[in-house]
Amino acid sequence: MTTHLNGNMFHKETMVIVLLDGPYSSQYADIGYKMAESALKLGYGVKIFLYMDGVHIPRKDQNPRDFPKTSRIIEELIENGCEIKACVRCAAARGYLDQSHYVKGVQITSVYDLAEWMDENSKVIILGS
Amino acid sequence: MSSSLVIIDKAPYGRENALSGIYIAITSLDQGHESDVLLTGDGVYAALKNQSGEKTIGYPSVSELIYLLFPNGTLFVHLDSITQRGMKYGDLVEIAELIDNKTLYNLSKSKKHIIKI
């Protein structure tokens, strides 16, 4: 188990958020952040799976002029105990061949991990696309 | 055992959604979960026979990938959506099962997770 997980991850019920869109082109990263933040405050476990263009969200060194940086909200969620994984197929296709492209704590992994998260104790919410 | 219904409403090749949705269903089945795919709206084009994406544009053939759902998962194709698009049951891959609105309602009610992609 990674060190950034907090007590919420042991909560029986977990919210799984799947983000499909990249940052700035839609508001879904921000909406997902708000949902995750609220669930964490209520004591639920929160896991986020970045799929398709969603893998752009945690990219380091973003510098949007007119929007809050989405990589920062990812860092904040990880600090608060959220587990965040990015699909390896989607990430590699977009040039993210290893975790060095991402903010600390985001793992590149297989879609099998999403399937594993979709268990009886989780609620999956798809945002985007 | 958990269960999911992956709903795809976008045509293949033009968008990544069909391919990505099918991958979710296949991996869920591999994990021992129940998982089915529902093609609705423009998503029904993913069930067309004889797709040539691999040969023509170098994209993975969605119709071939769909067969990996078999035998534990079911590929449901929304009847109204194929009718509206001038398609017939015979145009679809052999594993396709047509589903009407009432059966669709019962199917979605029976699933733990609805993954609309």
Assign a CATH topology to domain A7-127.
Hypothetical Protein Ychn; Chain: A, (3.40.1260)
Question: How confident is the model over A76-84, as a mean pLDDT?
Answer: 96
What number does CATH give the domain B3-116?
3.40.1260.10
- What is the number of alpha carbons within 13 Å of residue A65 lying toward its C-beta? 0
- Chunked in runs of 10, what are the mean pLDDT values of chain B (117 residues)? 95 95 97 96 96 91 93 97 98 97 95 96
C-alpha of A72 from chain center: 12
How many residues would you count in chain A?
129
What tokens were used for A90? 């989607």
Residue of A nearest to B35 (CA): A115
pLDDT at A7 over 60: no
Which residue matches tokens 């600390």?
Answer: A104
For A44-76, how does the pLDDT look when each residue is reduced to its tens digit (9 = 90+)?
999 999 999 999 999 999 999 988 899 999 999
Could you tell me the pLDDT band of residue A5, with boundaries at 50, 70 and 90? very low
Q: Which member of B2, B16, B31 has the closest CB to residue A120?
A: B2
Question: How confident is the model over A95-110, as a mean pLDDT?
Answer: 96
Beta-ladder partners of A49: A18, A85
Q: Which member of B16, B23, B113 has the closest CB to residue A118?
A: B113
Residue of B nearest to A110 (CA): B27
What tokens were used for A123? 């609620």
Could you tell me the pLDDT band of residue A12, with boundaries at 50, 70 and 90? confident
Q: Which member of B23, B33, B116 has the closest CB to residue A126?
A: B116
* Complex ipTM: 0.90
Residue of B nearest to A19 (CA): B117
In contact, A84 and A106? CB cutoff 8 Å: yes
Indicate the Cα dihedral angle A40, A12, A57, A87, nearest 10°.
170
Residue A10's pLDDT is what? 57
State pTM to two decimals.
Answer: 0.91
What tokens were used for B20? 């990505």
Could you tell me the pLDDT band of residue A3, with boundaries at 50, 70 and 90? very low
Residue A52's pLDDT is what? 97
The candidate with the shortest Cα–Cα distance to A54, out of A97, A91, A89, is A91
| Cβ within 8 Å, pair B23-A111 | yes
